[in-house]
Amino acid sequence: MASVSVSFIGGGAMAQAIAGGILESKTLGSESIHASATSNRFESWWTSRGMSFTIDNAECLNKSQVIVMAVKPHLYTEVFRRLADQGVKAENKLWVSIMAGVTLEDLQAAISTVTGGSGINDRVVRTIPNTPCKVGEGSVAVTYNMNCSQEDKVLVTKIFSGVARVTEIPERLQNAFAAMAGSGPAYIYQVIEGMADGGVMMGLPRALAVEHAAATVRGAATMVMQEKEKHSAQLKDEVCSPGGSTIRGVHKLEEGGVRVAFINAIQAACNRNEELGKK
């Protein structure tokens, strides 16, 4: 990684999370990380950490071999159109998209406008990071096009591993992954809120209820990750004493259709991702 530099086209929250993870893990030094955006709104975050920032996408693009496309999905075609109008020629770069819903095919078509070809030789990666990347606890699904080498895959894994668990998946699963892991934090926030509300209803102070509902979710998740030999159902059973209070609570959750509700939520989000990808 010593000779590699990374440029983020788009300097917002997710780009900052990934760049921060790269620095924290010492994968790259700050002098090897660059960012651009359409305004100076994010400049102080980047420059205060020793990274360069510019409002000129072309300047940022020319600084690195790895380009992370971190703009809003509805803006990327305009970004490439402007770069093409500037006469930018960006050959032999590794393009990494963190834009939800943008397919490899569509991304390759846009990239081809600045690489001087049809896009068939460009190295392109589609990823779906989720917001817990901001605290170094994210999940990232990665799909590589056929031009990416094993070295490219190792490089992308290193870039994201400072903030997330990285898994390679086929592109047909990207929308499902986004519906589960990408949208998932919103579902879990509702779980935490609901648990805290229950605690408040039974007399716990709000701040205490929220803190320990969140800690309980994190602790349970850690047990699932660390005790891999046990199915999550077994871990649940270990908390449910015969005739006890926990099994009463589990019964009420089942009565309310909690698992069906989660399945339906992920199905609905996946279907919407499919719709957005066709626009």
The CATH number of whichever domain residue 52 belongs to comes to 3.40.50.720
pTM of the model: 0.89
Question: Can you give the residue range of the structural domain that contains 61?
Answer: 6-174
Chosen domain end from 120, 151, 174: 174
* Residue after which a domain boundary falls, among 125, 152, 174: 174
Do 150 and 190 have their domain in common? no
The pLDDT assigned to 279 comes to: 65
Over the stretch 52-85, which tens digit does the pLDDT of each residue have? Answer: 999 999 999 999 999 999 999 889 999 999 999 9
Q: What are the DSSP E strand ranges found in 5-86?
A: 6-9, 33-36, 52-54, 66-69
Residue 248 sits in a domain whose CATH number is 1.10.3730.10
Q: Which residue stretches of the chain have pLDDT < 70? A: 1-2, 118-119, 279
Residue entry with tokens 């102070």? 205
**Domain-embedded: residue 102:** yes
- Are 194 and 125 within one domain? no
pLDDT for residue 119: 66
Indicate whether 30 belongs to any domain.
Answer: yes
Q: How many structural domains compose the chain?
A: 2
pLDDT of residue 120: 75
Answer yes or no: do 195 and 217 share one domain. yes
- The residue out of 118, 150, 174 marking a domain boundary is 174
Q: CB count, 10 Å around CB of 127?
A: 24
In terms of C-beta density within 10 A (0-12 exposed, 13-18 middle, 19 or more buried), how is residue 177 classed?
A: buried
